[in-house]
């Protein structure tokens, strides 16, 4: 569960208490001044001046107050599953109602298949339609649903798709370019293409599904021509914050699934998604039927699956 801690003044904490009055809870944790449960979040203010935001919307809810607060320094807590760092690129509270270019990627954790990145533009006038068409976080949808929704929205929202197939990916990796930098470059290019595509119209903001801290993300773009936007925001789980990112995620997944199907045809058998044991066995079979060099065309060879597949190949096929 994500959490954010802000350090506030006595005046500010009273203002927050008043703001959350309608969602306040009666039973207060020890040492607290108030506790409330706005949508998908729990907010607790303590006598020390610290305010704790917990839950799916912790980052978004904390962003409402970050201009008047300072995130306290704290040692990493290895027991927590996720610690959100507050930064100035967090989206405003009204982001969900704005006309936004959202970008997301698919395939980074899959051994087989490419990385697909999509930037999609959803105008505020289209948001209700996108909801009616079923646009939501693609992680909540199965591939057949994604395909059906993608076919409906690909002619509704302008978008830009970039695909990094594995031969290109492996070449960049061999040059010492990390996956994080590859993703940043793809996001930058997709957003730039889309900004040009929708001209003279301009989006109110760009929202990127965050995979690195903003300073790291923008450092990846050094030496490149970065996209120019009225406002730029980065946040995790952005698919649940604006429908443009949800649409981008669905379209990226759709492109990934289509390319994956082509890879299965090329392999001559159905290759599995992900990076588990079934993937290792499929890679071993690929080595047996097409040779070790085939991995460069089908897989991200720097994954640990490569060595696992080789061991299975030698054990199973005796070579």
Most confident of 30-34, 76-80, 282-286, 313-317: 282-286
Mean pLDDT to the nearest integer, 100-118: 95
Band (pLDDT 50/70/90 cuts) for residue 69 is low
Query: 64-73, 132-141, 148-157, 203-212 — which is least confidently predicted?
Result: 64-73
Q: What are 207's two structure tokens?
A: 């929202």
pLDDT > 90: what percent of the chain? 62
Query: Which of 67-94 are b and which e, b meaning 16 or more Cβ less than 10 Å from the residue's Cβ?
Result: eebeeeeeeeeeeeeeebebbebbbeee
User: What is the pLDDT at residue 82?
Assistant: 44
**pLDDT higher than threshold 70 for residue 1:** no
For 58-67, the pLDDT digits (tens) are 887 887 776 5
User: What is the pLDDT at residue 40?
Assistant: 86
Mean pLDDT to the nearest integer, 287-308: 95
Strand ranges of the sheet holding 42-46, from the earlier edge strand across to the other edge? 32-36, 42-46, 50-54, 2-7, 82-83
Q: Residue 50: helix, strand or coil by DSSP?
A: strand
Bridge-partner residues for 235, per DSSP?
209
| Listed residue (90, 67, 70, 88) closest to 2, CA to CA | 90
| Listed residue (44, 46, 53) closest to 82, CA to CA | 53
Mean pLDDT to the nearest integer, 180-208: 96
CA–CA gap between residue 312 and residue 224 (Å, rounded): 42
**pLDDT higher than threshold 90 for residue 102:** yes
Neighbouring residues of 86: CB distance < 8 A, sequence distance ≥ 6: 4, 6, 59, 62, 63, 66, 71
74 neighbors 4 (Cβ within 8 angstroms): no
User: What is the pLDDT at residue 53?
Assistant: 85
**pLDDT higher than threshold 90 for residue 316:** no
Pairing of strands 100-106, 42-46: unpaired
Band (pLDDT 50/70/90 cuts) for residue 199 is very high
Residue scoring higher pLDDT (239 or 15): 239
For 260-294, the pLDDT digits (tens) are 999 999 999 999 999 999 999 999 999 999 999 99
**pLDDT higher than threshold 90 for residue 307:** yes
Number of C-beta neighbours around residue 183 at 10 A: 22
124 neighbors 43 (Cβ within 8 angstroms): no
| Listed residue (31, 253, 279, 35) closest to 159, CA to CA | 253
User: What is the pLDDT at residue 159?
Assistant: 97
User: What is the pLDDT at residue 117?
Assistant: 97
For 215-232, the pLDDT digits (tens) are 999 999 999 999 999 999
User: What is the pLDDT at residue 91?
Assistant: 87
| Listed residue (257, 249, 256) closest to 138, CA to CA | 249
pTM value is 0.74
User: What is the pLDDT at residue 71?
Assistant: 42
H or E stretch at 145: helix 143-153
């Amino acid at each position: 569960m994500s959490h954010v801690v802000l350090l506030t003044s006595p005046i500010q904490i009273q203002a927050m208490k008043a703001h959350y009055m309608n969602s306040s809870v009666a039973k207060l944790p020890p040492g607290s001044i108030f506790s409330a449960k706005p949508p998908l979040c729990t907010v607790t203010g303590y006598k020390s001046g610290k305010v704790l935001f917990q839950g799916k919307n912790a980052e978004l809810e904390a962003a409402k107050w970050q201009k008047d607060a300072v995130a306290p320094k704290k040692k990493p807590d290895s027991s927590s599953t996720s610690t959100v760092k507050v930064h100035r690129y967090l989206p405003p509270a009204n982001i969900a109602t704005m006309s936004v270019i959202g970008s997301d990627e698919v395939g980074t954790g899959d051994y087989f298949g490419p990385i697909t990145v999509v930037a999609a533009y959803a105008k505020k006038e289209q948001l209700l339609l996108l909801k009616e068409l079923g646009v939501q976080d693609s992680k909540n949808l199965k591939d057949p649903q994604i395909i059906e929704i993608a076919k409906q929205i690909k002619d509704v929202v302008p978008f830009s798709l970039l695909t990094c197939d594995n031969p290109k990916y492996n070449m960049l990796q061999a040059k010492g370019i990390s996956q994080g930098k590859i993703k940043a470059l793809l996001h930058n290019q997709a957003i730039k293409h889309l900004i040009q595509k929708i001209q003279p119209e301009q989006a109110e903001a760009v929202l990127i599904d965050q995979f690195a801290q903003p300073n790291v993300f923008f450092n990846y773009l050094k030496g490149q021509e970065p996209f120019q936007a009225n406002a730029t925001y980065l946040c995790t789980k952005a698919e649940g914050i604006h429908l443009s990112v949800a649409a981008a995620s669905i379209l990226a997944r759709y492109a990934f699934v289509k390319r994956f199907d082509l890879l299965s045809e090329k392999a001559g058998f159905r290759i599995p998604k992900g990076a588990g044991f079934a993937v290792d066995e499929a890679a071993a079979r690929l080595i047996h039927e097409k040779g070790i060099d085939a991995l460069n065309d089908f897989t991200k060879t720097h994954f640990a699956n490569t060595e696992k597949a080789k061991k299975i190949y030698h054990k199973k096929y005796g070579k």
